[in-house]
Amino acid sequence: MRSYISMALMLFLRIISILTAFGLSVYALTFAIESDNGVQYTNSIGVLLPPGAAPPEQQVLKQFSEERPYNEWFRTVYKGAAGKYLIAEPLTRTDQNFELRGGAAERWEVSEDGLTWTFYIRPGLQWSDGHLLTAHDYVFSLRRGADPENAYDFGWYYQPIKNWVKVVARQMPTDSLGVWAADDLTLKITTESKTPHLPLLLTYSWASPEHTVKKHGDAWSTRPETSVSSGPFMVTEWTRGNEMILEANPVYRGVDKPYLERIIYKMFNSTTPPQRLPAYEAGEVDFAEIESQAELARLLSDGRLKDQVHSWPNFWTHYLFYDTQKPPFNDRRVRLALSLAVDRDALSRSALKGFAVPAYAMLPPGFPAYGGDTFKTMQAYDPERARQLLAEAGYPNGRGFPSVDMWLRNEPIMHRDAAEGLQALLQRNLNIHIEVRNVENKVFMDGLNNHTFQFGMVPYEFDFVDPSNLLGLWMSNGRHNWNNKAFDALMIAAGAEVKDPNRRISLYQDAERLLVEDIAGVFLWHKQKAQIWKPYLKGSALEPNHIGYRSWRGDQVMSSSLTLYIANL
């Protein structure tokens, strides 16, 4: 009797479970379709996830981010939180191969004289509160960037735009800026001179919402309640010092719809940086930056973690600069002597091990107009010839060489070690003593921009993939006291070459040749990025592209970064 009851109970339970499983699978079928790799899901904003992706509720990315007051690109870059890249739509974006593609602008054209650009805004774009995203928002945004009252910290970047410099300097009103809307969907921009890379420049044009800024002022981006979004994500929660949560924007009408449902930023203050690797190992974040050789060595020695470590080249050049107008560095022989006395390979093998490759020119490998290999031989490590050149310049065995300070901009320990390596190399090979002076950012930038430093070491990381970005800072009005009219002329000619991209590239190559041959600076190393990420984190941004570069930089700047998703393991 008892066995019958238990059998009946078992049967009943089995029926229930079969029914439940059937119900669940029917339920799942409404959201997922079968594919070769099993179930394929659709996320809450209607994007079909790639095969092998985890269900939508697991599409959450957790990462560290520095706590900063604002969350709006055109308010401030350096005091702006990481969400600013995702809650607004830029006019253009680049893909994994750095190819330009449309963002808010679906196409653009330039006038016959190369000075007036027309951007056609995609129809139907909107802010998360229902307002339409129009050309007027971009006019407002760029004027906001130029407005002296806004004191924008990234203003130098937009100087090619007509009257930008004058507006910033209060010589002209903001509405005289060369940006206006012909109609709701047509944005016009004029430039000071021909600027073929303007669409590339405008990958950094995350729009500010005119109607919201007018209503709430600068504070609009500081609270989720007043924050609106025209981008793939929107801010739903921001508890200061703790977390910022972004969720996929359900009314986003742009082209870069994300797979992820949610991004959780774990906020930290720059004064108390987080323990990145322990947090990563504890599963609090899905990826982490590797910042020292010890971290890299420890991870690579760990059989479980070493496959999660990735490193790839970054478009980043560290170089020594000279004041070429004053002795001793007004003599090209002295500049060349220093360049030949620096063993770049040795630095990349020791202090910078795993984080750098030797550099022989400003443009890094893989960058358009790269020519580093051809400049390598003329700067190859040759202490003998370096000593000879220094003697010819009047300092035999370093005698009489003035004491020189090498200025550094608030460098981390790894780069300070490399600077000590440089100090040792110059002492050993040329018998000249230099003092390494690592100073804080403001002191350094004042000294650099006022040309009061004779000698120093500084990095430059690219903003957009065009030679004008990395070479432009060497022009006579730039940050270094190397004034070369021929270089300026080549840079201007290349900048004005709108029609023939190949001629443009070769002009930039000529310009860089002048730069390197005159030893305006000593190019030391290109930085390698190193990160660790979980095996379930996937996406084309994490994959090497045709030049071995990964467009993933730890933030979601490029459109390919929006392809991140969480895979089923």
User: Using CB under 8 A as the criterion, which residues of the chain lie in contact with other proteins when the complex forms?
Assistant: 291-295, 297-298, 301, 343, 346-347, 349-351, 353, 413-414, 416-418, 420-421, 423-425, 427-428, 435-438
Q: Which of 271, 301 has the CB closer to other proteins?
A: 301
- Minimum CB–partner distance for residue 25 and other proteins (Å): 48
User: In this structure, what token pair is assigned to residue 550?
Assistant: 């990964």
- Minimum CB–partner distance for residue 346 and other proteins (Å): 4
Q: Which of 388, 427 has the CB closer to other proteins?
A: 427
Residue-wise DSSP of 306-361? GGGEEEEEEEEEEEEEE-TTSTTTTSHHHHHHHHHT--HHHHHHTTTTTSEEE-SS
- Minimum CB–partner distance for residue 327 and other proteins (Å): 23
Q: Which of 45, 436 has the CB closer to other proteins?
A: 436
Q: Which of 346, 514 has the CB closer to other proteins?
A: 346
Q: Which of 286, 343 has the CB closer to other proteins?
A: 343
Q: How deeply is 191 buried, as exposed, middle or buried, from its count of CB atoms within 10 A (0-12, 13-18, 19+)?
A: buried
Q: Is the dihedral of CA 469, 83, 246, 126 positive or negative?
A: negative
Q: Among residues 222, 264, 257, which one has the least CA distance to residue 243?
A: 264
Q: Which of 157, 455 has the CB closer to other proteins?
A: 455
Q: Which of 219, 413 has the CB closer to other proteins?
A: 413
Helices 413-430 and 383-392: angle between axes, nearest 10 degrees: 70
- Minimum CB–partner distance for residue 413 and other proteins (Å): 5
CB atoms within 10 A of CB 243: 14
Q: Which of 192, 291 has the CB closer to other proteins?
A: 291
Q: Which of 57, 435 has the CB closer to other proteins?
A: 435
Gap between the Cα atoms of 461 and 473, Å rounded = 12
Q: Among residues 547, 458, 461, 474, which one has the least CA distance to residue 508?
A: 474
- Minimum CB–partner distance for residue 291 and other proteins (Å): 7
* Contact yes or no for 128/249 (Cβ under 8 A): yes
Q: Which of 299, 471 has the CB closer to other proteins?
A: 299
Q: How far is CA 381 from CA 341, 346, 394, 471, 528, in A?
A: 6, 10, 21, 24, 22
* Contact yes or no for 216/165 (Cβ under 8 A): no
- Minimum CB–partner distance for residue 71 and other proteins (Å): 30
Cis peptide before 328 (omega within 30 of 0): yes
Q: Which of 165, 309 has the CB closer to other proteins?
A: 309
- Minimum CB–partner distance for residue 435 and other proteins (Å): 6
Gap between the Cα atoms of 276 and 270, Å rounded = 13
N- to C-terminal Cα distance for the chain? 47
Residue-wise DSSP of 461-487? E-SSSSHHHHHGGGSTTSSSS---HHH
Q: Is the dihedral of CA 136, 141, 146, 150 positive or negative?
A: positive
Helix, strand, coil shares, percent, the chain, to 5? 35, 25, 40
Q: Is the dihedral of CA 329, 461, 207, 494 positive or negative?
A: positive
Q: Which of 237, 435 has the CB closer to other proteins?
A: 435
- Minimum CB–partner distance for residue 425 and other proteins (Å): 7
- Minimum CB–partner distance for residue 491 and other proteins (Å): 36
Element (H, E) at 397: none
- Minimum CB–partner distance for residue 351 and other proteins (Å): 4
Q: Which residue type is seen at 472?
A: G
User: Which is it for strands 262-268 and 287-289: parallel, antiparallel or unpaired?
Assistant: unpaired
Gap between the Cα atoms of 104 and 125, Å rounded = 8
Q: Which of 186, 438 has the CB closer to other proteins?
A: 438
- Minimum CB–partner distance for residue 376 and other proteins (Å): 19
Alpha helices in 147-248 (DSSP H): 164-168, 198-201, 210-216
- Minimum CB–partner distance for residue 460 and other proteins (Å): 23
- Minimum CB–partner distance for residue 543 and other proteins (Å): 29
* Contact yes or no for 52/37 (Cβ under 8 A): yes
* Contact yes or no for 274/494 (Cβ under 8 A): no
Q: Which of 350, 476 has the CB closer to other proteins?
A: 350
- Minimum CB–partner distance for residue 405 and other proteins (Å): 10
